[in-house]
Amino acid sequence: MKRIQYIFVIIVLSFVCQISTAQNIPSRQLKKDTTLVPDKYPYILPIMGDKVHDLGFNLPFPMGIMFNSLSGNQNLSLSGLQVGFGNLNSPVPPNMIDLGGIVKFDDVSAQTSTFNLRLDAWVFPFLNVYGIVGQTKKADINVNMTEPFPLPVSTEVSGTYVGYGIMAAGSIGPLFVSGDMNHTFSYNPRLDKPAKVLITGTRIGPVFNFKNKPDMNVVIWVGAMHTHFNGHTVGQINTIDLAPDAPGKIDDMRGNLNNWYDGLSPIDKIKYGVIYKRLDDGLGNLKDGVENSYIRYEMNKSIENPWNMLVGAQWQINKRWQVRAEAQFMGDRTAGLVSLNYRFGIKGKNWGSK
């Protein structure tokens, strides 16, 4: 039933960026050591940084540029699929056909590789804010329909996303602890609205210092992360984009639709007769106006296990350069992340000082 197959190929475009953003990893270490602290704090941030400096704490550079590369897998569940057949020349939206009663899926599996650039600043000594811009290089999407008949679908997509985040960090004895939140927006021309993802997490772990190299350390952490996204997706695809030979493909779709309906029991034919007729008529209208017709879709998606665990480590080569790695596992998300971070400061009167 290639008609439904092509719908699946389009609706999963919104899924790829659910695993496209690397959550902020703490690089924070407030260490009280007056032998490492210069006489005067030279940077505009963080606010009240000069006061913390005067207490003898060795602050990191307040600003950073981080490059992240991430590969991983995200599982999602689909439900409530609706489709409609419209005409680009008509201002009236199409009447939607509810397929939720006849179409069921296994979890959607999205395997992706992505990179992003993150700019951050310590606004306060304990509070970091950042912005993200990234590109999904490739995502292999696998969708398995189980009813009304088995149908595996695979496709490859890419996308662009932007976002922002905030992190609070401190220490408990020899351990650092942090809480993080970021919100990203993934864009695709076939979606009415961007796919929104909200990730929150916490990390805790020890900092290991090098006696002869005071600017070098190694940090190890464990933590947990929660992923949430907008569950309702709406979009459309022009009929001409279905395949190079769109009319021929539509004929194949109608043939497969008829084969499915002919194989139903008499009771099911009565039960699904209206849906079958509307789908068949809709496909006929698409073929009659390939250049100007489109397919509208709506559906719900969810993560059954939004929590996952994580472990990671960072090597601070010096106060300007850090290298990081993190593994995310359990739940419906598995991923591996590597990062390179460069830190710097803008000199001037410290904000918040008198």
pLDDT in tens, 52-101: 888 888 889 999 999 999 999 888 888 888 888 888 888 888 999 888 87
Tally the domains of the chain. 1
How far is Cα 114 from Cα 108, in angstroms, rounded to an integer? 19
**CA–CA distances in Å: residue 341 to residues 19, 55, 66, 176, 344:** 21, 27, 4, 19, 10
pLDDT per position as a tens digit, 287-300: 778 788 888 888 88
Has residue 351 been placed in a domain?
no
Range of the domain at 275: 2-344
User: What confidence category does residue 105 fall into, taking pLDDT thresholds of 50, 70 and 90?
Assistant: confident
Over residues 199-240, the pLDDT tens digits come to: 999 999 999 989 899 889 999 999 999 998 877 778 787 888
Does some domain include residue 187?
A: yes
Global pTM value = 0.79
- 354 belongs to a structural domain: no
pLDDT tens sequence across 4-46: 444 444 444 444 434 444 445 554 445 544 444 457 899 999 9
Residue 74 included in any domain:
yes
Structural domain includes residue 318: yes
Whether residue 314 is contained in a domain is answered as: yes
Q: What is the dihedral angle through the alpha carbons of 153, 196, 292, 251, rounded to the nearest 10 degrees? A: 10
Domain membership of residue 171 (yes or no) is: yes
Task: Please answer whether residues 284 and 251 qualify as being in contact, where contact means their C-beta atoms are separated by less than 8 angstroms.
Answer: no
In a domain, 294, yes or no: yes
